[in-house]
Amino acid sequence: MFCALFCWLVTTQLAVAQVTVSGKVSDQNTGTPLAGATVKELNGQGGATTDDAGAFSLSVSSADATLVVSYMGYQSQEIALSGRKTVDISLVAGDAALDEVVVIGYGTVKKKDLTGAVSVVNTELLRDRNSQDIVGAMQGLASGVKVTSSGLPGQQASIIIRGLGSLTNNAPLFIVDGMIGGEAHLNPADVESIQVLKDASSAAIYGSRAANGVVIITTKSGKEGPMKIQFDGNVTSTNLPRYDLMDAETWKRYDDLAYDEAIRTGVAGVVSRQNHFDANTDWQEEMLRTGVLQNYNLSFSGGSKSGNYFVSFNRMVDDGALYGSGYDRYGFRVNTSGKKGIFSYGENFVYTKTDRKNLNGNPWADFIAISPTIPVKDEANPGGYGYGNPDRANNYGRNLVAMQELRPQDNPENLLKANVFGQLSLFDALHAKLNLAYTNYSGVTNTLRKSGNWTMGQGNDAASLGFENYRSDDILIEQTLNYKKRIGRHDIDAIGGVTYNTFFGQTNWITKLDPLVIGDKYITSLDAATGITTAGGSYQKARILSYLGRVNYAFDDKYLVQATIRRDGTSRLPETTRWGNFASFSAAWRISGEPFFDVPFVNDLKLRASHGTLGNSSIGYWDYQAVINTAPRAVFGSPETKVLGMTQSRLTNTDLVWERKTTTNVGVDAVLLDNRLTFTAEYFHSKSKDLLVYLPILMSSGNEGGNPAVNAGSLANRGFEIETGWKDKIGSEFSYSASLNLSRVRNKVLDLGYGRVEYYEFLSKAAIGQPLGAFYLYRMLGVFQSAQDVENHKNSQGMVIQPDALPGDIKYDDYNNDGIISSEDRQLVGNPWPKFEMGLSLGAAYKGFDIGINGYGRFGQDVWNGAAAAAADFANNQNNFNGIVPWTPENPVNDRPRIVFGDTRNSRGDQNRWLENGSFFRLSQIALGYTVPERFSRGIGLERVRTGVTLQNLVTFTRYTGLDPEFRDSGIFTIGADNTSFPNPRSVMFSLSFTF
């Protein structure tokens, strides 16, 4: 490779004379100069920005070059210089949507020339979002893109494009400035543009890594002109939603009832009520606080004729709204590019340093599990914290405060990403590019375990120090050759290339017992721990080699076709099957370009269709190799001797092949009513086969250490997406916009692995012809009101179905009519998939004021409320919600059984009692901004001053009784299970930004 690089450098000793052009850009109607318009050379690097007088100056490669002039809200224009050195350009307002340039991977295309399904995220809207990761910030901004954020500081949101296509990995591929990945540590303020490639033909150039779609993110670059300094600061106050849990007094009343019922019905070992602790602890109050998140960005950018730069610093401190959590980030970025003659180069360098305090336990489960009578501190216990006691609170709930204080864990990470490319352009048409990218990640997890307990029945753990180190190197080398030329009415853009990616990761850990303690302070250096040391480590390696090619051809701007092929080889699949070829094809017809098409209110109309296949091999490093576990030990003899054992623990399938996903997409794009209305509709159908999945296998196989990867079955997704937008002005001062996106995805299992026709998990069943994750549960019919009622619940043969039930117990449906309630009575009772999803944005600006409202919703899905299931019926002395009305003889309700300690018969999780309608619509953002009029800001030496306030997640319309209808699911087979997930925070953000 070094040799390659050397050759490359040798070939760049070349320069061509430059020409400088200057001119002025103005509005065609009013003649007003346009400040801040971009002027670039077609196919060239860099560019210039017009000054306040609309003037620009730019060096171009030849006197016959073509300039591209663009400005927000105006139609872009191409102007051939034809030898001129000065040009005045007037732009027509309104047609921005069409001339937008879209990045499609190893190249760009004008939006109007797109043949595949691509969503462009309006990055203007990111400005007012306080999400600390770019993925979370994209929520609701593109159709067919489902973003679910997590409420935990430093944890990234999850993103799925067009439903589940795979059973292992549904995350799209992120390309940040041409590098794979890195979105996790990206500072949203650095982002210039985001495009989402949704169908096979758009994503095809990324081949095997792109089956779930591609998100291409480009960070900012400097523009020609004097240095611009921009500062953005914002402070956000966040709060997490709380359960409405009982306080100690209320709880004791119910708990005594539950004990009385246990005594009355003869639950073994229960002879009296609990001798309650005296405390009244609000565990939510102990753990939750108003989080303050501060985020500051400072950037410097600018450029000259031969190059430009963008440098930014970011500092973020998130105290976390949960006691014991926190996240802290420093970011530094340098983007530069330059050009000399036929040679151009660019580089992006990012360094990010983060520190995360890890939270112990899941508070949303633990809040429910622990009794409110338990005190936070209890000197009688080792470590001094309160927890259950068989006599006073017979409860295994964990003391969350103790968990944070007895086991602090922090996780500093460093991420360095750098890429550099060089490009050689010949004959104005042939561009050869070499791109080198390097990512270095290193992270450490430090754990201190102090002595002390946080739950009943915990043994006396020794104090220990844990140190775990993880580092990885990722190198990407890409060589591409691009031919781009317009010959008469023929437009050709062809690219071919090779990419090679190599990854190495290594983990090492050490645990040492008995750290030294001085007073009550633990010394956290490993040298200061005096006990037994245990250690371990392993490494991971992976490589991918790919060949790619794509041809775009357009005739007369009306007939557009694109063909892509990619050949991928991966080290993650066995030698015989590791190569896969993936091809796709797409075409579009711009009807509005035809002479016969003459509809005055239609500015642009295009039909498109695509079809293609992509592969997926995102499985473990060596899933096809069976290995020996060398950890087992046994003891023999007297005196005891430890003896080494070895065995195979994990089963493997050695015949793994590429997972393939074939997608067909048809779409229509229209621009209407003087470019004010844009409309895009898509219909797609995809079919995945040989799905790679860690499908659970039978326990009787003796497998352990994870289920083996298998090519299991086939899955179909079909759906449609509609994106529509309206943008207009009333007078010269008031502008407004609205956009709506709707999508619907249905999935269906076509085939399951290992020859199975059904696959079950605790709450769900996947069967051929059914959607994944359909709820498969016992059905509650009501509550037995009397002994007579129990007797009357019979099957068709007259058998009493639940003879042991007592009044107040749940009456279940004997689905198979065999006279008993058994596992055969489970039935399909719910669908976790939304009927449709919706995103809505509204915006308006008047003088210096602007307002933006974003909302999104999902409708028609069933959700399993895990918190309600966990709180059920006092069987384990757990807490419960205020306002519950259990069955009692005096108050014989029919929707909630009696409460009883020590008896779980009514509180099983796999019943439809916990299913709810999960539909919701949420106003995720309401952002107000004010830009100080230029005449004032200039007065204090600032170019632009803007201040704003954003309300996030404050309003949600839903009937779901759980904390948050928008949650991260606990796995693809239980997609609708809200298993006490972290709720999304509600927040208010104040921001200030100025440019000078």
Partner 1 sequence: MKRYIVYLTGVFSLIVISCDESKLDINNENTISTGNFWKTEADIEHGVVAVYNMFYRQGTWTRNIYTQMQGMADDGVSLAGWTELNEYAKFIFTNYNFGEVNTKIWREHYIAVFRANQVLDHIDDIPFSNEQHRQDLIGQVKFLRSFYYFYLTTLWENIPFVLKTSSASDAPEQKTPAEVFAQLEEDLNDAVSKLPATRPESDYGRPTKGAAYALLAKVYMQGHKWQEAVQCLEWLVDGEGKNYYDLTTDYGDNFRNTTENNRESLYEIQFSLINRVGFDQTDNHLDPNAQLGTQIEMNQAPVGIGWNNVEARRWLVDYYKREQTTDGKNDMRLFYSVWYDDAGKDFPERPDTLIYGNNWRADWGKRVFIKKYSTDENPIYYWNDNNFRSLRYADILLLYAEALNELNGPTPKAIECLNRVRQRVKLPAIQNSTYYDGAQIVSDKAAFKEHLKIERALELSLECVRWIDLKRWGLDDQATINELKSRDSDFNNFIIGKSSRMPIPQSEVDNNPNLTQNPNY
Give whole-number Cα distances, 792 to 242, 785, 789, 795, 806, in Å: 42, 11, 5, 9, 13
Q: By CB under 8 A, name the one of 86, 525, 581, 648 that touches partner 1.
A: 648
Q: How far is the CB of 500 from partner 1 (least distance, A)?
A: 5
Number of CB atoms found within 10 A of residue 538's CB: 10
Identity of the residue, 311 or 424, whose beta carbon is nearer to partner 1 in the bound complex: 424
- As given in the structure block, the two tokens for residue 550 are 């794509």
Answer yes or no whether residue 371 interacts with partner 1 by CB under 8 A: no
Is residue 517 a contact residue for partner 1 (CB under 8 A)? no
Residue 7 near partner 1 by CB under 8 A: yes
Alpha carbons 684 and 720: distance in angstroms, whole number: 6
Considering the complex, state which of residue 478 and residue 721 has its C-beta at the smaller distance from partner 1.
Answer: 478
The reply to whether 430 sits near partner 1 by the rule CB under 8 A is yes
Which of 383, 566, 537 minimizes the C-alpha distance to 461? Answer: 383
| Nearest residue to 758 (alpha-carbon basis) of 824, 169, 749 | 749
Task: Spell out the long-range contacts of 619-622 with Cβ–Cβ below 8 A and sequence spacing 24 or more.
Answer: 619/168, 619/572, 619/656, 619/692, 619/694, 619/709, 620/572, 620/709, 621/540, 621/541, 621/542, 621/571, 621/572, 622/572
Between β-strands 734-751 and 758-760, what pairing exists: parallel, antiparallel or unpaired? unpaired
Nearest distance from residue 647's CB to partner 1, in Å?
Answer: 4
Site for partner 1 (CB under 8 A): which residue of 52, 391, 594, 895?
A: 391
**Distance between CA atoms of 748 and 715, rounded to whole angstroms?**
6
Residues between 310 and 349 with contacts to partner 1, criterion CB under 8 A: none
> By CB under 8 A, how many residues form the interface with partner 1?
125
Least CB distance from residue 297 to partner 1, whole Å?
38
Residues 6+ apart with CB under 8 A from 939: none
Give, as ranges, the residues between 8 and 37 that touch partner 1 (CB under 8 A): 8, 10-11, 14
- C-beta separation of 472 from 440 below 8 A: yes
Smallest gap from Cβ 109 to partner 1, in A, equals 24
Cα–Cα distances in angstroms (integers) from residue 636 to residues 629, 645, 646, in the given order: 20, 12, 16
- The interface with partner 1 within residues 528-547 (CB under 8 A) comprises 531-532, 534, 536, 538-539, 541-545, 547
Cβ-contact 408, 463 below 8 angstroms: no
Q: CB-hemisphere CA count at 13 Å for 751?
A: 13
314 within 8 A of 297, measured Cβ to Cβ: yes
Q: How far is the CB of 398 from partner 1 (least distance, A)?
A: 13
**460 lies in the site for partner 1, by CB under 8 A:** yes
Which region among 84-92, 97-105, 555-563, 620-628 touches partner 1 (by CB under 8 A)?
A: 620-628
Q: Considering beta carbons, is residue 166 or 395 the nearer one to partner 1?
A: 395
Nearby residues of 873 by Cβ (< 8 Å), 6 or more positions away: 258, 880, 886, 897, 898, 899, 900, 904, 906, 907
- Is 438 a binding residue for partner 1 by CB under 8 A? The answer is no
Whether residue 934 contacts residue 859, with contact meaning beta carbons closer than 8 Å, is answered with no
Number of CB atoms found within 10 A of residue 223's CB: 20
Q: Which member of 489, 632, 846, 957 binds partner 1 (CB under 8 A)?
A: 632
Beta carbon nearer to partner 1, 626 or 949: 626
- Binding string to partner 1 for residues 271 to 310, with x set by CB under 8 A, is what? x---------------------------------------
Helix (H) or strand (E) run with residue 97 in it = helix 96-99
Task: Single out the residue of 80, 390, 530, 817 in contact with partner 1 (rule: CB under 8 A).
Answer: 390
Q: Which of 30, 525, 822, 882 binds partner 1 (CB under 8 A)?
A: 822
Residue with tokens 């996030």: 952
Considering only residues 20, 32, 530, 629, which one is a binding residue for partner 1 as defined by CB under 8 A?
Answer: 629
Give, as ranges, the residues between 110 and 149 that touch partner 1 (CB under 8 A).
Answer: none
What residues numbered 475-514 form the site for partner 1, per CB under 8 A?
477, 479, 481, 497-498, 500, 502, 511, 513
DSSP type of residue 981: P
Q: Does 3 bind partner 1 (CB under 8 A)?
A: yes
Binding to partner 1, residues 41-100 (CB under 8 A): none
State yes or no: residue 645 binds partner 1 (CB under 8 A).
yes
Q: Please, what is the minimum distance in Å from the beta carbon of residue 463 to partner 1?
A: 8
Q: Nearest distance from residue 488's CB to partner 1, in Å?
A: 23
State the Cα–Cα distance between residues 412 and 357, nearest whole angstrom: 8
Check residue 231 for interaction with partner 1 (CB under 8 A): no
How do beta strands 641-644 and 179-180 pair?
Answer: unpaired
Task: Pull the structure tokens for residue 201.
Answer: 């033909």
* Nearer of residues 414 and 451 to partner 1, judged by Cβ: 451
Q: Is 225 left (phi over 0), alpha (psi -120 to 50) or beta?
A: left
Using CB atoms within 10 Å of the CB of residue 881, give its burial: 0 to 12 exposed, 13 to 18 middle, 19+ buried. Answer: middle
CB atoms within 10 A of CB 148: 18
Helix or strand run (H / E) with residue 368: helix 363-369
Does residue 817 belong to the site contacting partner 1 (CB under 8 A)? no
Q: Which amino acid is at 968?
A: R
**558-597: contacts with partner 1 (CB under 8 A):** 569-571, 575, 578
**Residue from 94, 116, 324, 388 binding partner 1 (CB under 8 A):** 388
**What's 110-176 look like in SS3?**
EHHHCCCCEEEECHHHHHHCCCCCHHHHCCCCCCCEEEECCCCCCCCCEEEECCCCCCCCCCCEEEE
Range in contact with partner 1 (rule: CB under 8 A) among 287-295, 361-369, 426-434, 976-984: 426-434
**Closest approach of Cβ 806 to partner 1, in Å?**
13
Closest distance between partner 1 and the C-beta of residue 790, in Å? 16
- Residue 996 CB coordination number (10 Å): 15
- Where residue 182 falls (left for φ over 0; alpha for ψ -120 to 50; beta otherwise) is left
Interface residues for partner 1 in 897-936 (CB under 8 A)?
Answer: 901-905, 908-910
3-state secondary structure of 761: coil
Pick the closer one to partner 1 by CB: 34 or 477: 477
Q: Of residues 722-761, which lie at the interface with partner 1 (CB under 8 A)?
A: 754-756, 758-761
Q: Toward partner 1, which CB reaches closer, 158 or 507?
A: 507
Please tell me the number of Cα atoms within 13 Å of 581 on its side-chain side. Answer: 3
Residues 843-882, interacting with partner 1 (CB under 8 A): 875-877
Task: Give the Cα separation of 101 and 216 in Å (integer).
Answer: 13
Per-residue binding string, partner 1, 236-275, x by CB under 8 A, is ------------------------------x-xx-x----
Token digits for 297?
């960005």
Tell which one of 116, 144, 422, 708 touches partner 1 (CB under 8 A). 708
Interface with partner 1 (CB under 8 A), residue from 394, 879, 919, 979 = 394
Of 231, 330, 396, 553, the residue at the interface with partner 1 (CB under 8 A) is 396
Of 494, 624, 623, residue with least CA distance to 562: 494
Q: Which of residues 175-214 bind partner 1 (CB under 8 A)?
A: none
Of positions 168, 308, 395, 912, contacts partner 1 by CB under 8 A: 395
Least CB distance from residue 9 to partner 1, whole Å?
Answer: 10
**823 φ/ψ angles, rounded to the nearest 5 degrees:** -60, -15
- The residue from 187, 195, 389, 739 that contacts partner 1 (CB under 8 A) is 389
Q: Is 673 in the site for partner 1 (CB under 8 A)?
A: no
Q: Of residues 83, 519, 636, 733, which one binds partner 1 by CB under 8 A? A: 636
Q: Of the two residues 479 and 917, which places its CB atom closer to partner 1 in the complex? A: 479
Least spacing, CB of residue 702 vs partner 1, in Å: 2
Contact between 762 and partner 1 by CB under 8 A: the answer reads yes
The answer to whether residue 469 forms part of the interface with partner 1 (CB under 8 A) is no
